[in-house]
Amino acid sequence: MPDPFDFSGRTVVVTGGSRGLGRAMALGFAERGASVIVASRDAGSCTAAVAEIEALGAKAWAIAVHVGRWDGLDGFAEEAWAKTGRVDVLVNNAGMAPTVARSTEVTETLFDKTVAVNFKGPFRLGALFGERMKAAGGGAIINVTSTGAVHPEPSYAVYAAAKGALNIITKAHALEFGPEVRVNGIMAGPFWTDIAKTWREEADRTSTAAVKRIGRPEEIVTSALYLASPRSSYTTGSILTLDGGLR
């Protein structure tokens, strides 16, 4: 029987794909034969990630895009499809998680930027890619959300709210674009990434999760592969919690 996790001949788009969880997933799909579009705000880091993927023998492209800027996302979708002819998987991974001491410190600019990157952009990309995938006969969308959505803290309340909204949109888009397109979420707990460098060591040492540590980027890969593969054909509108048994 064919390997259900063989992504040869398929194209995967990963936003925020140049570092952290996005980079791990981009490399994971490439190792399974996929062609990968790496997207992030930093063109240089996209190019570096593409070089890593090409070193694995896979095709890759770099596209610089700011997912929080609505007016640039139509062009990004057009470019992605023009480069590859078809997109089979979209991983909405790009995000930002600013923290504040109290809510009165949140400016309108910071509020709008946090919502734009973590919710508005993924919503728009899900809509754009979902329609194209449905018209093309199929596809999968994976939204990377956060356990902050169900365990919010005052210091990152806006981020948590945006990720909670993304959980809701995951279900709504699954209903809108199904059955051809499946839409699921990975609700990630704390991971050892560069954006967590100010707190990751302490969190790793003091974790109350069942595994007594925080996650490593490579540990998200199999979840993404599953949700993008035929093995999850009955899984849509679901949010997979990936937090090591966090309390």
On the question of pLDDT at 180 being above 70, the answer is: yes
Could you tell me the pLDDT band of residue 131, with boundaries at 50, 70 and 90? Answer: very high
Query: In sequence order, which residues have a C-beta less than 8 Å from that of residue 172 and are 6 or more positions away?
Result: none
pLDDT of residue 2: 77
Q: What is the pLDDT of residues 48-102, one digit of tens each?
A: 999 999 999 999 999 999 999 999 999 999 999 999 999 999 999 999 999 999 9
CATH homologous superfamily of 11-242: NAD(P)-binding Rossmann-like Domain (3.40.50.720)
Q: Where are the domains of the chain?
A: 11-242
Q: What is the pLDDT of residues 97-115, one digit of tens each?
A: 999 999 999 999 999 999 9
Amino acid (one-letter) located at 219:
E
**In a 10 Å sphere around its CB, with 0-12 CB exposed, 13-18 middle and 19+ buried, how is residue 90 labelled?**
buried
pLDDT of residue 203: 87
**In a 10 Å sphere around its CB, with 0-12 CB exposed, 13-18 middle and 19+ buried, how is residue 135 labelled?**
exposed
Contact (CB, 8 A) for 117 and 68: yes
Mean pLDDT of 11-24: 96
pLDDT of residue 122: 98
Mean pLDDT of 169-178: 98
Could you tell me the pLDDT band of residue 1, with boundaries at 50, 70 and 90? Answer: low
Instruction: Name the token pair of 132.
Output: 């194209």
pLDDT of residue 199: 81
Strands of 89-92's sheet in order across: 60-64, 35-40, 11-15, 89-92, 139-146, 181-188, 239-242
On the question of pLDDT at 233 being above 80, the answer is: yes
Residues 20, 28: Cα–Cα separation, whole Å: 12
pLDDT of residue 214: 87
Q: Which residues are catalytic?
A: 159
pLDDT of residue 140: 98
> Residue 188's Cα: distance from chain center in Å?
10
> Residue 172's Cα: distance from chain center in Å?
17
pLDDT of residue 192: 84
Instruction: Name the token pair of 38.
Output: 């790496």
